[in-house]
Amino acid sequence: MGYTLDTVVREFMTDDLGLDAIDRRYARFLSIGISSLQELNHDNIGSIEKEVALEVNENGTVTLPHDYIDYYAIGYCNGTELIGLGLNTNLCNVAVDDCGNREMPTEYTEGYFFGSNFNDKGEDLGGVFGVGGGKSSVGEYKIYKELGYIALTNYAGSSIVLRYKADLNFTDGDVVVHPYNVEYVKAFIWDKYVAKARSYGLGEKQLAEQRLKKEKTKALQRHYSFSIREFVSAWKSGYKSSPKI
């Protein structure tokens, strides 16, 4: 999983501060570390990405995580890759009966996907009148963020994989820090620490500020470079992904 914020903070205290053991300042540094990730998030870079397996409820819905903001991909793992479900914006809000069970439509046509042209990933390639535009042989979804759930249809699995952007307000020490952001987080903590410490002079505070600017610039450049390479690679391979973000 890589570095967690807890790991980064502990490394900062032992490596940058030269401490032999973690002391009571840990909670303060962890809070500053969260603030550093929020700063990156304001630039829409380094957003907290999580991947979780969520159970499908009996009524065919999936409850969204409490820190959910937006999603990158929704699907299931076939052992080697994530197979994305199809986005179906026509799905209705889930209606339930008096017992809380999901009510099925009054009219249902068996073999709805019969004769459709799907590839090996379950993506509809068209060719059937009225079918296409997000239809999938492996299942479809629509997210009701305000209501806190994902509606599913034609999906036979008992769980789904959700890759999503997490709310930093719910972040703790277990959150994974992107490798490009590790040194920036340490520089951010050092800058805030030195700025309020009376034992450091103006020169040292200026050096800390310069280090922070350097590490942020480096992190941003790496993120942008990675995104461009990823885009070009996907474009050349002809791969059409299904993420929202």
From first to last of its 245 residues, the chain has per-residue pLDDT tens of 467 889 999 999 999 899 998 999 999 999 999 889 888 876 656 556 778 999 999 989 999 998 888 888 899 998 888 899 998 888 888 765 556 565 554 443 333 333 345 555 555 554 444 444 456 678 999 999 999 999 999 999 999 999 887 776 666 677 778 888 899 999 999 999 999 888 899 999 999 999 999 999 998 888 777 555 555 554 444 434 445 55
Domain assignment of residue 13, given as a range: 5-46+171-235
- Report the pLDDT value the prediction gives residue 130, as an integer from 0 to 100: 41
Q: What is the DSSP letter of 124?
A: B
Give the number of residues written for the chain: 245
Decide which of 128, 151, 166 is a domain's last residue. Answer: 166
- Report the pLDDT value the prediction gives residue 2, as an integer from 0 to 100: 61
Does residue 121 sit in helix, strand or coil? coil
- Report the pLDDT value the prediction gives residue 132, as an integer from 0 to 100: 42
Same domain, 21 and 70: no
In a domain, 240, yes or no: no
Cβ atoms of residues 30 and 9 within 8 Å = yes
Domain count along the chain: 2
Q: How many other CB atoms are there within 10 angstroms of residue 186's CB atom?
A: 22
> Which region, left, alpha or beta, applies to residue 122 given φ > 0 means left and ψ of -120 to 50 means alpha?
left
Same domain, 38 and 53: no
Decide which of 122, 138, 166 is a domain's last residue. Answer: 166
Same domain, 177 and 158: no
In a domain, 202, yes or no: yes
Same domain, 81 and 139: yes
The whole model's pTM is what?
A: 0.53
Same domain, 58 and 157: yes
- Report the pLDDT value the prediction gives residue 224, as an integer from 0 to 100: 76
Same domain, 66 and 161: yes
In a domain, 243, yes or no: no
Same domain, 57 and 162: yes
Same domain, 54 and 161: yes
Phi, psi for residue 3 in degrees, rounded to 5? -75, 135
Instruction: Name the one residue in this structure whose structure tokens are 């995580």.
Output: 65
Distance CA 189, CA 79 (A): 39
Same domain, 56 and 80: yes
Phi, psi for residue 20 in degrees, rounded to 5? -85, -20
Decide which of 166, 187, 208 is a domain's last residue. Answer: 166
